Chains A and B, each alone.
Chain A
Amino acid sequence: MNPLLYLLIIPGLTVAGITLVKDMKQVRLVAAVGMSLQLLWSFVLLYWFYQLRAAGHTEEMLFVSSTTWYEAFNIQYKFGVDGVSMAMILLTSIVTFAGIFASWQVAVLTREFFISLIILAGGVFGFFISLDLFTMFLFYEVAVIPMYLLIGIWGSGPKEYSAMKLTLMLMGGSALLMVGLLGIYFNSAPDGGPLTFDLTEIARIHIPRDAQLFFFPFTFVGFGILGALFPFHTWSPDGHASAPTAVSMLHAGVLMKLGGYGCFRVAMYLMPEAAHELAWIFLILTTISVVYGAFGAIWQKDLKYINAYSSVSHCGLVLFALLMMNETATTGAILQMISHGLMTALFFALIGMIYGRTHTRMIHEMGGLMKVIPFLSVVYVIAGLASLGLPGLSGFVAEMTIFVGSFQHTDTFHRVATLVAASSIVITAVYILRVVGVLLLGPVKNEHFHELKDALWFEKLSGVTLVVSIAAIGLAPLWLSNLIREPLGQMLHHLIN
């Protein structure tokens, strides 16, 4: 059997296990064991992947298998991975693992919560291993739908409103996407012959230019909404603010990456001519995203809003780099997805933990937390430093790769866009240090804060997992950068010519 399938089977079995056991403690134990196995399996796959590459398997995709799902429309369950999807799988399993421990104390409807969470994660895994556009879309929906329940039921604040808004906006994206995907499908055999949803097959043929120009915006915007493309990003602040901790972690950490991944793997890869012709429009939008998100974050007062706007800025950088369409910038984009995924998950985890203690997310109601909850505060500072691009942590590697890559374009338009985007490193420093200063440093503002307890073991485990991942990438980035870069040469060759 295809070893990739275990990435779906393990979550499946975990969900089954959760339905069988009795109480909350057993539920979370099963969830933890399942997601630990998933993490372990991801590393095994990575090792295996390296072994196969070393043994001279130079095919575009490894672990490829295909089963017919619906013959009439030529829909397949086709799975396979390359370096980019391998990296995304790794990210997903790390964030999911950390997310399980961050929701260790969910007491309301624990069973249903973990089931939804794991289904969501399973959808993401399915998306990243799919090579068939239809099944890819299917898994995408599997990942988006549980979000509604997770926010609507376990959320806080105006949760129904936020859940509805988020789901509707993402569904709007799906609708556009559906049009785009069908457009690709019906143009997948310009010379006659059977139509196909197979991604690698379509990449080999040439979709007529007119069709590309028509369907590219649908596909790109469809995925872009999930990737917080300006001006379709407003589901993000409200959605994140209302979502429970682990959901914010998974959503910002992983689900938003589906957007960037899809923009690249589907929209740009399959419709290269349109990508070239229309890139400038989206480049302007993403450049705005980067700076706009950062400026927006300065003025926010709620920790989750700050992080949501910061995500708009950082995810904007992902799409920005993809649109630069060269190997270095694209490597940077994928690195940024991983880096942002890890650090934003860490941020949301910490915000959840702090909120659980102080019962507020308003930064001005807090202060001096460093003294009372040093562990959480130090980790928050580390996350902040990663976010503002300190060398030795993952953000720096990603940003520098993006800027060096973008700078390879010599025309004024790309240069100006690059300079504007690069200026975000200063604005990021402003809002991060502002939060650190107000929230963590200074005198303790509230008498009651002296009674706060620092992180418990599962919170520490969650935080440390993410910090270690961030530092590992930041200190030794070469392996990851090579893993990502390896398939890009071929893909971009296709895109550029």
Chain B
Amino acid sequence: MDYAYTLWILTLPVAMFLTIGLSGDRLKSNAAGILGTAGLAVIAALSWFTAFSYFGSGLPESGFQPVIAAQTTWLAFTETLVIHLGILLDPLSVMMLVVITTVSLMVHIYSLGYMHGERGYNRYYAFLSLFTFSMLGLVVATNIFQMYIFWELVGVSSYLLIGFYYEKPSAVAAAKKAFIVTRFADLGFLIGILLLSFNTGTFDFAALNDMSGSAIAQPVTTVFMGLSVSTWAMLLIFMGGAGKSAMFPLHIWLPDAMEGPTPVSALIHAATMVVAGVYLVARLFPVYHFAAPDSLEVIAWVGSFTSLFAAVIACTQLDIKRVLAFSTLSQIGYMMVALGVSGYGDEGVGYMASLFHLFTHAFFKALLFLGAGSVIHAVHSNLMTDMGGLRKYMPLTHLTFLIACLTIAGVPPLSGFFSKDEILVAAFEHNKVIFAVQWFVAGLTAFYMFRLYFNIFWNSDPHYHHTPHESPPTMTGPLLFLAAASVLAGFVPFHDFVTTDGKPLETEFHTLVAVPSVLIGLAGIALAWWMYARKNSRPESVAQTLHGLYSAAFRKFYIDELYLFITHQLIFRFISRPVAWFDRHIVDGTMNLIGNTTVSVSVAIKKMQSGELQWYIWYFTSGVLVLTLILLYLN
């Protein structure tokens, strides 16, 4: 099969970015939107075509094999450490192509309505194209350095889009925070890459993931601070992934990132970029599994803690986008857990489940965000206290939002049920504590999602200034499409396609896991209904009973304050300011001192060159006298 046409998947978004970006205001804003959307439709079609031809070509005996569709040398560091830019097609990357382009297309269409009449409409579409390019380049990377390159590019696209409303100080601050936190994580990623590549002599995924080679066996022997070098390398690489995927304690940027336009939150901060960390671990899974199993354990616990931590916070937030942001953290936590508990080959249920959840989550979380966008568009507020009773005014948004909530709550037979169930099965077989946590979080998830749902669409009507109305078809169309995808995605025979070794995986249905997880989900929904379906005093009394926990969760457990303290008080005041002072007063002071001393010495001795003869004779005779005395003394 010749996949050379996949190059268009990468070149088209660049072309769109340059066309829309460079033409500036010369391009009519509608034209920019339509051009961007049409371009993305072509890219999505190409991706779907690629998926059909890749998976449709029939399963070979040895499982699906990676294909390098195109490759060129970008930069050579040494003989062996060479950065290639290329396109790698394997089940993982092909699946990601489909997810990214589909969600991106929906977001492009949706934005035609949502962003209509905004200042900087062209800029918006240019940045979206840049993001799409970066994200696609990331998933088709043939080597870890290419991935790092595009990783940084998605980071900057995210920065630009979060700060889209650049006249708003909070948006500027959020963008900066997102970039710097992920940059800090990327430093770990970079050092991890350096360690890994130095010890294996290659950047290529094919060589790294090749277990038969000795590439990854050798560094295991070197030990540093109790952990093998390969564990260090893989943990540092995970740090990069944790930054991008907003795992605790690097999660602080994601809730703030909601300052960006809502469709951007749907695309970047829910469906695609934030799962890049999961993708990264999945991409290097053989290395993790065979060379650094300890780090997988860390990943599982980090994921598990984040999912619980974020779910608790989500129960208390009032800004609907922030609730969704914490929900995203929690769901990505699930994906990390699944990877962490996974084995290889026949035991690779976790790996499959993680990516399956990534796949379904992309659709239902994008749907939730776009639905929230539709609501915000109608009531001009992000706060759920300004909402209520909207089911009457916005029937389509209501219907699709309900579907999404049921999906994320894990109600069968919607897609979220299948993927979450697989994760719970994998966790159950690996570690009962993690399983228990994830089971509990499933209940919390159902609770906070329906808290959101009831507060927006039921509860009491807060007397709107303008009667809210349903969004235009450009917005409801994508909602309906994504709702359909959320319902149906669970029936994709995912375990036949995306597995650790490319071979189909046998999965069983565990009644022991499925039934309790559905039950706790329903319990969460019921509790939310009891508290929020109608206006009553129950939420306040619950909040008062759980006073300490509630206010801590409401303030996001003070992690932001902690960071602020570290950066502003410690780094800025205790490092940066003294450095600046030291430079001006000590280093530069010394230089000035040398200069000033020279000048004052010169002032002091210049009187000797007075031109007055009697003084010169005086100096001369005293000199002779002194010399004579010295000579006499020496003799």
Residues of A bordering B, CB below 8 Å: 165, 168-169, 230-231, 233-235, 237-238, 292, 295-296, 298-300, 309, 327-328, 368, 370-371, 385, 388-392, 396-397, 400-401, 403-405, 407-408, 418-419, 422-423, 425-426, 429-430, 433-434, 437, 440-444, 476-478, 481-482
Contacts and interface: CB of A to CB of B under 8 A. Distances in A.
Contacts of A235: 591
Given A407-B198, A477-B74, A298 B587 contact: no
B591 A234 contact: yes
Given A408-B198, A478-B73, A234 B587 contact: yes
A401 B75 contact: yes
Contact of A429 (B76, B145, B179): B179
Interface string B70-84: 000111111001000
B514 interface: no
A279 to B, nearest CB: 20
Interface of B: 73-78, 81, 145, 148-150, 152-153, 156, 159, 163, 166-169, 172-173, 176, 179-180, 183-184, 186-187, 190-191, 194-195, 197-198, 572, 575-577, 579-580, 583, 587-588, 590-592, 595
Contact of B75 (A298, A429, A433, A481): A481
Chain B interface mostly: helix
Contacts of B153: 390-392
A433 B182 CA distance: 13
Contacts of B179: 429, 433
Nearest to A405: B77
Contacts of A298: 572, 576, 580
Nearest to B21: A378
Contacts of B168: 442
Contacts of A388: 183
A231 B587 contact: yes
A328 B587 contact: no
Given A327-B78, A426-B184, A165 B591 contact: yes
Contacts of A328: 77-78, 81
A481 B76 contact: yes
Given A426-B184, A433-B176, A443-B167, 8 more contacts: A165-B592, A231-B590, A298-B576, A299-B579, A391-B152, A404-B78, A422-B191, A478-B74
Candidate in B190, B583, B591 with the most chain A CB atoms within 10 angstroms: B583
Given A401-B75, A404-B77, A477-B75, A441 B172 contact: yes
Contact of B595 (A165, A295, A478): A165
26 contacts: A234-B591, A238-B588, A296-B583, A300-B580, A309-B583, A328-B77, A390-B156, A391-B148, A391-B150, A391-B152, A392-B153, A404-B77, A404-B197, A407-B195, A418-B194, A422-B187, A423-B187, A433-B176, A433-B179, A434-B176, A437-B173, A437-B176, A442-B166, A442-B169, A442-B172, A478-B75
Which 9 A-B pairs rank lowest in CB-CB distance, beginning with the nearest? A299-B580, A234-B588, A391-B149, A298-B576, A441-B166, A295-B579, A441-B172, A429-B183, A407-B194
Nearest to B148: A391
Contacts of A389: 152
Contacts of A476: 74
A464 B188 CA distance: 34
B595 A168 contact: yes
Contact of B152 (A371, A390, A397): A390
Nearest to B182: A429
Given A298-B576, A401-B77, A430-B180, A441 B167 contact: yes
Contacts of A418: 194
Contact of B180 (A296, A385, A433): A433
Contacts of B588: 234, 238
Given A430-B180, A437-B176, A368 B152 contact: no
B305 to A, nearest CB: 24
Nearest to A444: B167
Contact of B81 (A392, A404, A425): A404
A441 B169 CA distance: 8
A300 B579 CA distance: 11
B576 A425 contact: no
Nearest to B194: A407
Nearest to A389: B152
